[in-house]
Every structure is written in C-alpha cells, then in structure tokens.
Chains A and B, each alone.
Chain A
Amino acid sequence: MSGIVAGALAPHPPHLVYADNPPQNEPRAECGWEMLRWGYERLRRDLPEHDVLVVLSPHWQTYIGWHFLGVERLASKSVDPVFPNLFRYTYDLQVDVDLARAICAEGAQAGLVTKMMENPDFRVDYGTIVSCHLVNPKWDIPIVGISSCRSTAFYSIEVMQEQAIALGEATRRAIDASGKRAVLLASNSLSHRHFVTESPVPEDMTQEHITHHGQYLWDMRVIEMMRQGRTREVVDIMPEFANQAISETDAGALTWMLAAMGFPETPAELYAYGTVIGTGNAVMGWTP
C-alpha cells in the first residue's frame, strides 16, 4: 500500500531529546518527561513501514509562503535559540527532494505561495529535528521538511487554517502520485503558554505542570475529540483553541496533517500527554 500510511501529532519540545541523551546532543540529563518519551516509543512501534517522513514545523517560520527543504543532504548543528542549554544537536539527514518538489508544485497549483529552499548552508530548525529524532532516532528514512507560513500574523487564524487545509490536500495528491509510503508529522504542542523561568535542574519533574487550568481543559477537550474521530470539529474550533489556549496549532501543522488524511473519523490513538515547561503536549497517531 502506498500513499499516506499514518499521521502523528509529534510535538517538538527539545526537552524530550535532552532527556533522551542521544549521542548527537551535547547536554546530558538525568531523566525527565518519561511519559511523553515512552509514548513516542510506542508510536514508533506502531508506525507501519514507510519510505519518507513529511514534517511541518512551526519553528521554520516563513512570512512569505510555504517553503520546502530542497537539498538532498543537510548536515550541521542545531542549537535551540530559546533553550540552548538543553539542545545542541549535530544532525545529518537526507531529504526526499523529489517528493518535496512535487508537494511544492501541487501547492502552487492550488494557489498557495510555495518555494524550494536550495541553499546548502541552511540550518534546519530545531522543531523539525526534534520531531524527526523522536519518531526515527536512527535517521535512516529521508524527510520532507515544510515551513509554517505565518498567515496568522498577516491575516487571521481562519486564513491560516484555510491555507493549511489547501496545503494538506496538495500534500496528499503529491504523495499519492509518488507511489511512496509516507508518514506525516504535525510538529506542535497543544496549549502553549510557557513558564517564563526555568528550574535550576531543567529535568526536575517536581516543577513540571500545566501553566494554567484553562489550558488543561482545552487540551483535554481537543484530545477527547480526536480520540472520538471528530477531527473536522477540531479544525472548526481551532481559532478558539489557538486564541484561548495560545495553542501552537496556530502554526497550521495539525490542520495540514488532518486535511492531508481526509479528516479521519477513525479514533486517534493517544500515546501520551504531558506538560513541558508548562505547555501541553500529546503524542497521537492515526492510521487510515
């Protein structure tokens, strides 16, 4: 079977890689955020065979159009500008440039502004790196990296959602035409109000909790809807979710993935929910 074989909500707090202590990352941790990391382990076990990971990251922010990684091999060091104490990761990844070009072209055909990124010195954003590491720590599968066009800032969340839906549908058409088996990764948290201070020991789990009860209520509401297969409703309430819970879904990644999968009505599998420096994060999976 080719086409989209699975989709996952794959949040990218660098804390999870930090706590994993992979050899690529410089800082070392004692522990931390196990529920989320073990959830990723279960997600990895459940993913069907696939040829490519297609990831949309809020931390590649492009204010003009949706951009696609367009260099076959990208190797460098990713340092998180917000948490450089936790994430300094040496990566070496393969890009499926053919599929990236195909999605880029389909998006343009659908009326979106799209662009290939072909500068070999380009540094891949840490959101893409974190989500891909947690889904495929071996890095033995090529990726397609897509930026987040921040139409939210220029127009509204609604416009952002419409564009993300159009991009999702274009993504599906391009993947179907490619004959490849793709897993889609929506790289974002749910509620996204951070703490503004950091514990002296970042992995001190006694300090970890949701920033605000209201954010937790929103997270549970959205997760429950996805567990019941009500993904169209999730997209319908996305503007309210983004406004009230300062959700990172405003970047369009979740909407893009759900649209690409035809707004699945099958219940999503919840692998884990946990907070990271106050934000709400769920690891969830869908199979068509």
Chain B
Amino acid sequence: MGQIVHGFICPGIPHPLLCPEANEGWQRLNEGFEALGRQIRESGATRLLIYSTMWPSVIGHQIQARPEPEWVHVDELFHDLGSIPYRFRMDAAFAHALKERADARGLHARTVDYDGFPIDTGSVVALKLLNPDNDLPSCVLSSNVYADRAETIVFGKATRDAIAASGEKWAVGVVMTLSNRLFTDFIDPADDHVHSPKDEEWNDKLLEFFADGRLEDIAQLSRDIHRQIRVHKVVNFKPMWWLSACMGQHNRYTGEVHAYEALYGTGAAVVGLAPREGGVGDKEFDEDAVETFAGDRNVLSGSSTAPQTAQEPPARSADRIDADLDEVPAPVGAYPHARRVGDLLYLSGVGPRQPRTDAIPGGPIRDEDGQALDYDIEAQTRAVIENVKRILEASGSSLDKVLDVTAFLVDMDRDFAGYNRVYAEYFTPIGATRTTVAIRALPTPIAVELKVIARA
C-alpha cells in the first residue's frame, strides 16, 4: 500500500535557483532546498508530488500527466534572471489515477499531457532544486482559483486515496511563500527584507507551528493567514488545506525549518515534515472534514438536476422491524432494530457487539471493574458498520441507501481519526450526511455507536 513518508513546503520565486550568489539569504534558501532534498531521500521516498500555488486553474483541478515535459522556461516577471531549460520525469500513471480518485469524490479534474504546456515557475524551481537528477518520478497539481475549503480538502483526500493505491512512498509538498507581498519596485539584492514587521511576525508564528509539526492547526488558520499576510491574488489561501488533508489532518509530525529568508519582500521558507507517532497535540477540529464534494459544480447544466416527480409515493405504514438475532445484536432495551415510515428506514443506535455472543471486536473500553482498557477503534467501527449493513439488509434496504448518519464517540480526541478512516472506506462513495458528537458514555463498554436513516 502506498504511503506518504514526508511532507514539505518551499518557495517558487526563482532567485534561489537562478542567482543564489546575489544575496546571502537566497544562497541559504538554495542550501535549504538541498537539505530538504536529502531529507526526502532519507525518508525512503520513491515519488515526489507538488501542489503549486503558482499554477492557477479555473476548470477543476489540473494534473500534469506528460511523461517527459521539456521546455526552456522564462519567468514572466523575473525574465532578466535567465532561462531555465528543463526536462522532467513525471509519473503519468499516477496522474491518471488521481484524476479518477478526484472524480469519485465529486470533483472535476483533468490531466494535461501536451507538448509545450507551460509548467509554472514555482514547480520548475522546486523540481530543479529538489530533484535535479530526476531520480524521483514526480507529479504536479494546480491550485484551483475558485476552490473553497471543502473542495480543496476533498482534493487532498482524493490525492491521499491515489497515493494509497499507488504502492509507492511519496514526498508531498506545496510550492508557496508564507507572506507573499513582493516589493513593487525592483531592488538591489542586498536590500532584500520581509516587506513589513507584521508579515515578519506572522511568518515567525507559522514557522513555530511548522517546527512543532502542527500542520492541521495551520490549515485551520488558513483564512486568518489569507487576511493577514497574503496579497489576494486568488480566492483564499488554500495550500495548507490540501496538504493537511493529503497527510491525514493531524499534527503528528516532526517539523524542520531548513531555511527561512526574505525573497523579494516575501517570506520564503523551506520546511520538512516527517510523520511521527504520538498525540494529536492542539488539533482544534473546529470545522467539519468533508469526504466528498457536492458543491457548485453544475453551473453548465441545469438539466443535471433530477426532475421533480409529480407522483406521490404510495403511503405505507410505520412498520416495526425486528431482525433475526442470529444475524444482528440484540437490543439492550425496549426498542426495535428499525422502523419503516413511508420510504424511509429509521434505525435504532447500532454498536459493534456481535450477534448472540455480545463480543466486542477490538475489545471493550473498560473491564468489569470500570478500569480503562486499550481497544481498537477501527475494529469497533468496522463491526458497527457491518451491523448496520445487516440490519438494513434485513429490512430490505442496503448500505448504499443510507442518507444520514449520527455518530457517537466516547473519546473524540483518541478515536476520531481511526473511526473516520474506517467510515471513509464504507461511506465515501455513498455520500451520506453525517454528524459526529462526543458523549460521556454508552450503555455497554463500547466506544462508538451509529444512528442511521436510510431509504427503504
């Protein structure tokens, strides 16, 4: 199974590549790229993936799929610094796989495989400095101008899906600066500095977060970052949404700032993020994490909306459904497994207990004396969903007809990530609405329970 073994950010302005000798800071950035490149290889990475904020797209998310793009690139602003000939090695198969994964999550994506396609300066700089010998096949992704937080996060998750399916070890990163205000006149390189003390303070704050490995926290700060230190060239500062979603939406990293310098007024940092075990740190989770995108993607075709039916469905009684206790766990109170009302099924809360034995896959959360036990939230979640599936099938429905899920967790901090992972395996293609809440306890020593509404 493929995995992400390293994360990073780096700037895309060309001076560290084209004229590092002109300024000591630009030279240190160049050396920072070198250090990051070494760290990427030490991580065992076999592939390199770049999301470039300097490649804006309008029609969905674009993915570079030309196996060996070749050109002589000139930056549209700093053209006097010289030309950059390049020939890169891209993982075209991955690009096509990612497009499919993005489509599956409701996004609009397309690959680009054209002679002469203008790879942006930022991607060119990053690939030339991090992968000068082309030993790591790479891929480059655009930054959609109109994408909001939900869409960007879903694109990150689609990327994660494609990486998991690739069988390769990936270093994934973003081409961006921290504060992005350039000077508005050409400067003597010796005079370079971050544009304002405010930008400098924010950059310092972000570097502290990066050094602590708090990637998801930075993602949650994206809107503030956009307001405070970003010139509004696009809608929202979005690369951290993508990177964190791609890397699992947590703070369990060891960060290393290889370089931080002024780069024509902007704050340019080269940072590596190595995954590590441990707690979730200060993760806030103040906003929901979207799994599939259902946003404004059909402005072209009003006809894509399903026609309203004028015919009312036949009225049906509110049927009580008690499933076979050989197939599903027995209720722990005076309630049925489900009731049918019209075309809808309402299920009682379902836990992971097994039919007849009441065994709890993954183990109970406490012993008979109330002492806490270690348990496997993923195994519990899987058992819950399998129970839901059996009850639905016993009611003449199926899991793919689930419309709405309410999830109860007894330990949100400990269990959310594992629960969320297993949930995504089953529900990503289904796209049910979901609410997840933390509660103090459940009636049996279990960690998770689901309440489900489905089409009959």
The answer to whether A196 and B77 touch across the interface, beta carbons within 8 angstroms, is no
The answer to whether B299 and A64 touch across the interface, beta carbons within 8 angstroms, is no
Contact residues in B for A151 (Cβ distance below 8 Å): 184
The answer to whether B299 and A77 touch across the interface, beta carbons within 8 angstroms, is no
**Which residues in chain A, 159-213, are within 8 Å of chain B measured between CB atoms?**
194-199, 207, 211
Contact residues in B for A140 (Cβ distance below 8 Å): none
Residue in contact with B297 in the complex, picked from A64, A76, A153, A196, CB distance below 8 Å? A196
The answer to whether A195 and B300 touch across the interface, beta carbons within 8 angstroms, is yes
Contact residues in A for B72 (Cβ distance below 8 Å): 121
Give the nearest-CB partner of B81 in chain A: A119
The answer to whether B299 and A196 touch across the interface, beta carbons within 8 angstroms, is yes
Most chain-B CB neighbours within 10 Å: which of A67, A113, A122?
A: A122
The contact string, 1 if C-beta is below 8 Å from chain A, for chain B 257-299, is 0000000000000000000000000000000000000001111
The answer to whether B116 and A77 touch across the interface, beta carbons within 8 angstroms, is yes
The answer to whether B114 and A64 touch across the interface, beta carbons within 8 angstroms, is no
Given A121-B72, A153-B233, A196-B299, the answer on whether A81 and B59 have CB atoms closer than 8 Å is: no
The answer to whether B300 and A154 touch across the interface, beta carbons within 8 angstroms, is no
A16 to chain B, nearest CB (A): 17
Contact residues in B for A85 (Cβ distance below 8 Å): 110
The answer to whether A121 and B116 touch across the interface, beta carbons within 8 angstroms, is no
Whether, in the assembled complex, B83 has its beta carbon less than 8 Å from a beta carbon of chain A, the answer is yes
**Which residues in chain A, 117-142, are within 8 Å of chain B measured between CB atoms?**
117-119, 121-123, 125
Contact residues in A for B301 (Cβ distance below 8 Å): 207
Given A62-B76, A153-B231, the answer on whether A82 and B181 have CB atoms closer than 8 Å is: no
**Which residues in chain B, 184-209, are within 8 Å of chain A measured between CB atoms?**
184-186
Contact residues in B for A119 (Cβ distance below 8 Å): 74, 79-80, 82-83
A214 to chain B, nearest CB (A): 14
Residue in contact with B74 in the complex, picked from A64, A115, A123, CB distance below 8 Å? A123
Contact residues in A for B423 (Cβ distance below 8 Å): none
Whether, in the assembled complex, A61 has its beta carbon less than 8 Å from a beta carbon of chain B, the answer is yes
Contact residues in A for B186 (Cβ distance below 8 Å): 64-65, 113, 115
The answer to whether B299 and A60 touch across the interface, beta carbons within 8 angstroms, is no
The answer to whether B77 and A63 touch across the interface, beta carbons within 8 angstroms, is yes
Whether, in the assembled complex, B318 has its beta carbon less than 8 Å from a beta carbon of chain A, the answer is no
Given A153-B232, A154-B184, the answer on whether A88 and B74 have CB atoms closer than 8 Å is: no
Q: How far is the CA of A198 from the CA of B298 in the complex (A)?
A: 10
Given A81-B55, A119-B82, the answer on whether A197 and B298 have CB atoms closer than 8 Å is: yes
Whether, in the assembled complex, B342 has its beta carbon less than 8 Å from a beta carbon of chain A, the answer is no
Known contacts A197-B297, A207-B301; 17 additional CB pairs below 8 A are A63-B182, A64-B183, A64-B185, A65-B184, A76-B116, A83-B59, A84-B117, A113-B184, A119-B82, A123-B74, A153-B231, A196-B58, A196-B59, A196-B108, A196-B299, A197-B59, A197-B298
